[in-house]
């Protein structure tokens, strides 16, 4: 099953989004919140993100949802760290280009259904175009 | 590592590592001392960097950078012989502890430098040049930025070019370092005249003109600390 990592500058935001997405997820989904720095302050930490991806992976890849600016840079740095980590360089990991909350919910549904990483990313990115008002 | 090596200007294509040739002391401890010098300067200028960032960003650049370098000072091995290992550790600490955009940017810069210096306890001219290029390549890749976008690259790229040009003209070490810092300073000043198209400052559009880029400023401080350390 594809794993999901939620990356935010805020620990509370990441955990809150995780909580919402978990309601839509099956019991086996690896859904990891990775928000803030280790000490709980606002920011993103590429090394923590790297570890979250390792934790989320069960062999079928990992979809990352990220919030803003430097969160994307830290997530990309984490992917690069993984590439140079001999033990974990085979993990397939991608960042979904989508709003973090809506994307996380869609990705959780798709991953829980057993979709491939490509399909989970597509589902997360479909959320980008969702209209809220009809 | 005799005096003849020390006075050979051709050794100097990358100033950060020139001190490696200065004497017979442990190489990596010199790398540590140089990084400590950079850390001191960043920490001393914490409020200044944060103030610059208050004008066009989110007022955390100095705080974030100082936090990262304070942590690095505590965690870096002072007697590690592998230069790459010291640089890598610096990069990892900055990736983890800085928090803002400068974390992945400076972290990547150090990691790229580390990769180019991996396993080495001494560096040649060519190693130094490779390292400098790796650093610039890493920052461009991570920040998806080019020169002229009001970023740290506006300090670093002109500094690199001025340094190489001074080298090619056969200038002395001191002159090369001064050329590097002069170009970095000019580049940093130049960021006042241009509009930000990357990072938080880009939300301000034309209103970012007139303000000096905090990232270019911390890069300038880094290069000045290197010059001051080597010149000491």
Name chain A contacts of B75, Cβ cutoff 8 Å.
none
Phi, psi of A62, rounded to the nearest 5 degrees:
-135, 135
CATH number of A3-128: 3.40.50.510
In the β-sheet with A93-95, what is the strand arrangement from edge to edge? A31-35, A3-8, A62-66, A93-95
> Which of A3-7, B73-77, B106-110, B127-131 shows the lowest mean pLDDT across its residues?
B127-131
Question: What number of other Cβ atoms are within 10 A of residue A26's Cβ?
Answer: 14
Q: How confident is the model at residue B18 (pLDDT cuts 50, 70, 90)?
A: very low
The answer to whether residues A26 and A57 touch, using CB atoms and an 8 Å cutoff, is no
- The per-residue pLDDT for B131 is 81
Q: What local confidence, expressed as pLDDT, does residue B123 receive?
A: 66
Task: Give chain B positions within 8 Å (CB) of A70.
Answer: 100-101, 103-104
Residue in B96, B143, B200 nearest the CB of A47: B96
Report how far residue B177's alpha carbon sits from residue B189's, in angstroms, rounded to the nearest whole number: 18
Predicted confidence at residue B19, as pLDDT, reads: 47
| pLDDT surpasses 70 at B57 | yes
3-state secondary structure chain B: CCHHHHCCHHHCCCHHHHHHHCCCCCHHHHHHHHHHHHHHHHHHCHHHHHHHHHHHCCCCHHHHHHHHHHHHHHHCCCCCCCHHHHHHHHHHHHHHHCCCCHHHHHHHHHHHHHHHHCCCCCCCHHHHHHHHHHHHHHHHHHHCCCCCCCCCHHHHHHHHHHHHHHHHCCCCHHHHHHHHHHHHHHHHHHHHHCCCCCCHHHHHHHHHCCCCCHHHHHHHHHHHHHHHHHHC
Q: Taking residues A102-125, what's their average pLDDT?
A: 97
Task: Assess whether pLDDT exceeds 60 at residue B28.
Answer: no
List of chain B residues whose C-beta atoms are within 8 Å of the C-beta of residue A74? 95, 103-104
pLDDT score recorded for residue B168: 85
Structural contact between residues B120 and A62, judged by C-beta atoms closer than 8 angstroms: no
Beta bridge partners of A4: A31, A63
Mutation for testing the B interface, residue in A77, A79, A83, A84 having most B CBs under 10 Å = A77
Model pLDDT, residue A61: 98
Q: Which of A9, A11, A18, A48 is catalytic?
A: A9
**Arithmetic mean of pLDDT over chain A:** 96
Judge whether residue B216 has pLDDT over 80.
Answer: yes
Rounded Cα gap, residues B149 and A45, in angstroms: 25
The helix/strand/coil state of A40 is coil
| Domains of chain B and CATH, by start | 3-231 (1.25.40.340)
Give how far Cα A106 sits from Cα of A62, A112, B22, Å: 14, 10, 59
The model's pLDDT over B106-146, given as tens digits with 9 standing for 90+, comes to: 999 999 999 998 998 876 656 767 888 999 999 999 999 99
Does residue A5 have a pLDDT over 80? yes
Task: Answer for the pair B85, B32: CB distance below 8 angstroms, yes or no.
Answer: no
Asked if A88 is an active-site residue, the reply is no
- Other beta carbons within 10 angstroms of residue B199's beta carbon come to 26
Instruction: Give, in order, the Cα–Cα distances in Å from A33 to each of A26, A42, A109, B74.
Output: 16, 14, 16, 28
Chain A residue numbers touching B97 (CB-CB < 8 A):
37, 45
CB A46 within 8 A of CB A83: no
Res A84: pLDDT: 86
Least confident of A62-66, B189-193, B201-205: B201-205
Is the model's pLDDT at B10 over the cut of 90?
Answer: no
Q: Outline where DSSP puts E strands in A3-123.
A: 3-8, 31-35, 62-66, 93-95
For residues B10 and A19, the model is more confident at A19
**What pLDDT is stored for residue A132 in this prediction?**
87
The answer to whether residue B85 neighbours chain A at the CB level (below 8 Å) is no
| pLDDT tens-digit series, residues B147-180 | 999 999 999 999 999 988 988 888 876 788 899 8
State the pLDDT confidence band at B232, using cuts at 50, 70 and 90.
low
How high is the mean pLDDT of chain B? 85
Residues B98-102 have a mean pLDDT of 92
**Whole-number Cα distances in Å, B53 to A110, A130, B59, B204:** 41, 35, 5, 13
CB-nearest to A70 from B96, B97, B100 is B100
Q: What is the pLDDT of residue B122?
A: 76
The verdict on B128 touching A (C-beta cutoff 8 Å) is no
Each domain of chain A, given as residue ranges in start order, spans 3-128
**ipTM score assigned to the predicted complex:** 0.87
Q: What is the mean pLDDT of residues B12-16?
A: 42
The CA distance from B45 to the nearest CA of chain A, in Å, is: 21
pLDDT of residue B22: 39
Specify the residue for token string 């103030």: B51
Q: Which one has a higher pLDDT value, A11 or B177? A: A11
Which residue in B68, B54, B134, B71 sits closest to B102, CA to CA?
B68
How far apart are the CA of A88 and the nearest CA of chain B, in angstroms?
A: 17
Nearest CB neighbour to B99, from listed A37, A76, A81: A37
Confidence band for B30, pLDDT divided at 50, 70 and 90: confident
| pLDDT over 80 at A29, yes or no | yes
What does the pLDDT read at residue B3?
34
* Confidence (pTM): 0.87
Q: In this structure, are residues B23 and B2 in contact, taking their beta carbons and an 8 Å threshold?
A: no
Taking the Cβ of residue B199 and every Cβ of chain A, the question of whether any pair is shorter than 8 Å is answered with yes
């Amino acid at each position: 099953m594809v794993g999901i990592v939620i990356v935010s500058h805020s620990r509370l935001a990441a955990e809150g989004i995780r909580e919402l997405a978990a309601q839509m997820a099956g019991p086996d989904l690896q859904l990891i919140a990775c928000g803030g720095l280790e000490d709980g302050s606002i920011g993103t930490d590429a090394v923590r993100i790297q570890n979250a991806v390792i934790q989320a992976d069960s062999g079928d890849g990992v979809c990352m949802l990220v919030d803003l600016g430097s969160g994307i840079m830290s997530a990309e740095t984490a992917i690069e760290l993984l590439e140079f980590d001999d033990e974990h360089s085979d993990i397939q990991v991608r960042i979904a280009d989508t709003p973090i909350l809506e994307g996380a919910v869609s990705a959780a549904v798709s991953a829980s259904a057993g979709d491939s990483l490509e399909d989970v990313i597509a589902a997360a990115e479909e959320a980008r175009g969702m209209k809220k008002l009809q | 590592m005799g005096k003849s090596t020390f006075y050979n200007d051709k050794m100097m294509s990358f100033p950060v590592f020139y001190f490696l040739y200065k004497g017979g002391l442990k190489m990596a401890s010199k790398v540590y001392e140089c990084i400590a010098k950079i850390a001191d300067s960043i920490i001393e200028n914490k409020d200044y960097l944060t103030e610059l960032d208050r004008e066009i960003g989110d007022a955390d650049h100095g705080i974030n950078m100082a936090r990262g370098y304070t942590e690095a000072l505590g965690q870096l091995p002072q007697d590690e012989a592998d230069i790459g290992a010291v640089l890598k550790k610096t990069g990892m600490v900055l990736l983890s502890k800085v928090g803002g955009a400068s974390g992945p940017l400076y972290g990547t810069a150090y990691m790229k430098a580390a990769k180019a210096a991996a396993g080495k306890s001494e560096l040649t001219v060519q190693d130094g040049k490779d390292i400098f290029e790796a650093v610039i390549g890493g920052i461009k890749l991570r920040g998806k930025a080019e020169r002229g976008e009001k970023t740290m690259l506006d300090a670093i790229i002109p500094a690199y070019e001025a340094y190489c040009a001074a080298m090619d003209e056969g200038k002395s070490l001191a002159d090369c370092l001064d050329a590097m810092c002069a170009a970095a300073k000019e580049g940093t000043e130049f960021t006042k005249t241009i509009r930000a198209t990357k990072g938080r400052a880009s939300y301000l559009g034309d209103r970012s003109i007139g303000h000096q880029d905090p990232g270019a400023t911390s890069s300038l401080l880094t290069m000045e600390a290197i010059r001051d350390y080597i010149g000491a």
